[in-house]
Structure 1
C-alpha cells in the first residue's frame, strides 16, 4: 500500500515540476564564464580578516582567485559594499511551502501536493534573495517533495538556494513529526507518514528507505514539539535504541542524522545515539553542553522564533497549546544559548524559517549577538562553521579558491551593525547574479 501511494505521489511531483517549468522563469545555469567582482571591503569569516578593495574572480561558477584590485572594469562593481560568502541556514522548511506572512503550522495538510510545490518554489526564491545561497531543509510532512525541489534547483529549472534535504521525519506515531490534531477516524495518507516508526528495526528500515530515495541526511524527532498538538517539547519520543538504529544506518551510507530535541534528556540521548547536530535544544543544560563539546556536535538553536510566534501567532489565533509551549521554551532556550556560547560549544545558524516569513531569515543574527556572540561569531555560524557541520568545508561559506562563487553584499559594516544582514543589497550564487 505504501509503495502504491508513493508511486502516485511521484507522478504528482513530476507533473508539478513540469507545471513549474512551463509557467515560471527558469534560473540560468552557471555557464563557463568569467566574472570579476570588485569588493570595497571583504570579510573572510574563517580568518576574521577584513580586506579592502579586492577582486573576486569567479570562473564557471567557482571562485578562481581573490586578490587586490588593480585595474580593469568589473563585471559587478560592489566597491561601495562589504562582501561576504553566501549565507547558510542550517534549519529551514522551504519544501513544505509556508505562506509569505508566516506559517499556518497545519498548512501542508490543507493543501494539495501541487499547491505545496508551487508555494515551495516561491519560498525557495525568497530565501535565496534574502542572501541564503545554501540551506539545509530540515524535513517535510509530505514525504520526498523536498528531494524533488532540491533536484529542480540543482538542474536550474527554478531559482533557489543549494539544498540538502531529509525526505521526511523519523518519528513515533503521534509524535512531533507525525500528523496530529485530526479526528480519530480521519485517514492519513501514507505520504505523510514515510518515517513513522515503532521500534529500532523500523527506524533502520525507514532511514534506509529515505536514503535510497535520495535524502542527504536523516532527521530524528527525538522529543516533542512546540508546533504540534499533543506533543510536549520536554518529553522523549524516540527511544535511544530507535535513534541509534537510524543513525547507524546513516553512517553506514556515509550520511549522518540530525535531531529535533528540545528536552534536556532528549538532547543527550540524541548526542549519544550519534546525531551530528541538535536542533532547537530549548532545555539545554550544562551536561548537554559538555557532552556536545566532547562529541564534536553542533547546536543549532532558533532563538529568534519565540518572539515571532508570540506576536504573530497570538494575533492570528494559533492554538493555545502552541502559544503556551512557545512561552515555556523561549527564554530558557536563550539562556541555554548564552551558556553554550560562553562554554565555547559549536553553534550554527538555524532559524526554522517557515515558522516566520522567509524574507526575515536574517533576523536571527541580531539575536545571536544580543545573547552572547560577537558579530564575527554570528557570521561564522552562518558561513564557515555551518560549512563544517554540512561536511562542505571549502565548498560553501568561504571565499577561498575552489569554493562555489556565492556572495552577498551589504551597504555598511556588519561587524559594527549585524542587523545589516537582515536586508542584503545583492546576491550571487555560483557566479550568477540573483539580485
Structure 2
C-alpha cells in the first residue's frame, strides 16, 4: 500500500511540474471596436435627429456618439446608408413566457397543460422574436411556474437568446380576480395561494410579495382591477383593498422593487396611486382627476394601446363575457389617452405581447402617433420613459458614451415614418449584432 501511495504522489508531482512548465495560454485579443454609420441618429434623450449619425462600440459599451466621432482604421464599420440609428427598444409590459393564440380558449387551456420545462422552450422562441423586433430590454409582468425567472437567468448566462429581462414571477391579486386562474372546479385543480400570487388580506399579500422576491422577481406586478381576458371578473372593479395595497407597496419598496399595477378601472387605479404604486398598466377607464394625480406623484402610465385595438378587433372571437369587456375597455381607452396626452402624464411603452403575436412590439409607436403623439415623443416613451420607469436609465435607454450598446437601425428618417420601427434593419444588444434571419 505504501508503495502505491508513493507512486501516486510521484505521478502527481510530475504532473504538477509539467503543468508549471507549460506556457500560459495567450490572452485573447480584445474585439475590434464596431462602428455603426447611418444617415440619421436619434439619441433618445434630445428628441431630435443628428445627421449623419455614428455610434462607436467597444465590447458591451458605447464609446462615442455623434455626427463625426473619431473612427480609426482598425475598426469594423457597418454603413447602413439611408437609415436611422436608435436606442434599442425597451418594452415595459410584455409576457414573453406566455404564448399568443388566435383561438383564445384553445391557447389558454393548452398552455395550462404544458410542463414548465416545455413552456420554457416556447418562452425562448418568443424571446428571440422579441429581440429581432428591436426590443433589447423587457419588463416581463407575470408568468406562471417561474418560467420568466429561468429564461432571464438563461439569457444572462448566454444559454438562450433574447432581450435583457426584468421579471415579476407570478402576478399578485385576490381570489377570483384577474391574477387568479379561470373558475375551474376546485376538485379538478389545486387552488393557488401566495406562492402562485393569489392572496387575501394584508399579511397574505405581504407573503405573496416575499415569495416572488425569494424566487427571483425584479419587479412586483399586481392586479388592482379586473381584466379583459379573464372569465370571472368585471373589468373595472377594484380587486385589492387599500390595506392590501399598502402591504404590497411597503414590502416591495423595502426590498427596492418597483410595483406595476394592472388597472383598467379608475377607482382601482386611484387606490393604487394613493398607496404608492410606480406605474398603472392599461388604464382604460382613468378619469382626468386620476391622471392628474398620477402626474402629480410621478406615476407612469403604460397604456398598451395596440393591445386595446387588437382585442377590439378580435372581440367577436372571444367568449361572450370577454368580448363584451374588450369592447368596453377599448372604447374607453381612446378617450383616456386623449386626456393623458393633454395632461402630460409620464408614459412608458408597453405592448402586452402574448395578447397579440410576439415580435410586433414596435407597432405601439405608430399607434401612439395615430392618437396624436409626436413621433419623437412616442420613441421617447421607450428610451427615456421605459428606462426611467424600470430604473435602468444609467445603463441603457439612450445612445450615449458609457451606456450599453443597445442599438436598433431602421430604414429612412424615423421621424417621417414611425412605422419603420416595425421592420428593423439591424439590432445590436450589448455590443453583439443579432442575426435577423
Q: How does 1:79-158 map to 2 (within 5 A)?
A: 79-99=81-101, 104-140=107-143, 142-158=144-160
Q: Name the counterpart of 2:302.
A: 300
Separation in structure 1 between the aligned mates of residue 396 and residue 80 of structure 2, nearest angstrom: 20
Q: How does 1:6-405 map to 2 (within 5 A)?
A: 33-67=32-66, 68=68, 72=73, 74-99=76-101, 104-140=107-143, 142-188=144-190, 190=192, 194-312=196-314, 314=316, 317-405=317-405
Larger-gyration structure (1/2): 2
Name the SS for the 1:292 alignment partner: helix
Separation in structure 1 between the aligned mates of residue 44 and residue 407 of structure 2, nearest angstrom: 13
Q: Name the counterpart of 2:9.
A: none
Structure 2 residues not aligned, in runs of 5+ = 1-29
Separation in structure 2 between the aligned mates of residue 106 and residue 372 of structure 1, nearest angstrom: 38
Q: Name the counterpart of 2:415.
A: 415
CA contact (8 A) 1:143 1:191 kept: no
How much has 1:112 moved relative to structure 2? 2.2
Cα-to-partner distance string for 1:322-373 (whole Å, 9 max, x where unaligned): 1110000102112111111111110111111110001211112111111121
Separation in structure 2 between the aligned mates of residue 257 and residue 136 of structure 1, nearest angstrom: 12
| Structure 1 residues 199 and 191: alpha-carbon distance in aligned structure 2, compared to 1, 3 A threshold | closer
CA contact (8 A) 2:224 2:239 kept: yes
| Structure 1 residues 313 and 359: alpha-carbon distance in aligned structure 2, compared to 1, 3 A threshold | farther
How much has 1:45 moved relative to structure 2? 2.0
Q: Name the counterpart of 1:17.
A: none
- 4+ runs deviating over 4 angstroms: 69-74, 99-103, 189-193
CA contact (8 A) 1:382 1:397 kept: yes
Cα-to-partner distance string for 1:287-308 (whole Å, 9 max, x where unaligned): 1111101110000011111332
Query: How many residue pairs end up in the alignment?
Result: 402
Q: Which range moves more in the overlay, 32-41 or 417-426?
A: 32-41
Separation in structure 1 between the aligned mates of residue 322 and residue 337 of structure 2, nearest angstrom: 22
Cα-to-partner distance string for 1:95-117 (whole Å, 9 max, x where unaligned): 12445998934443132212211
| Structure 1 residues 342 and 265: alpha-carbon distance in aligned structure 2, compared to 1, 3 A threshold | same
CA contact (8 A) 2:195 2:212 kept: no
Separation in structure 2 between the aligned mates of residue 288 and residue 79 of structure 1, nearest angstrom: 46
Structure 1 residues not aligned, in runs of 5+ = 1-30
How much has 1:187 moved relative to structure 2? 1.5
Q: CA RMSD in A?
A: 2.0
How much has 1:192 moved relative to structure 2? 9.6
Name the SS for the 1:104 alignment partner: helix
What's the TM-score, normalizing by structure 2?
A: 0.88
Name the SS for the 2:82 alignment partner: strand
Separation in structure 1 between the aligned mates of residue 59 and residue 393 of structure 2, nearest angstrom: 19
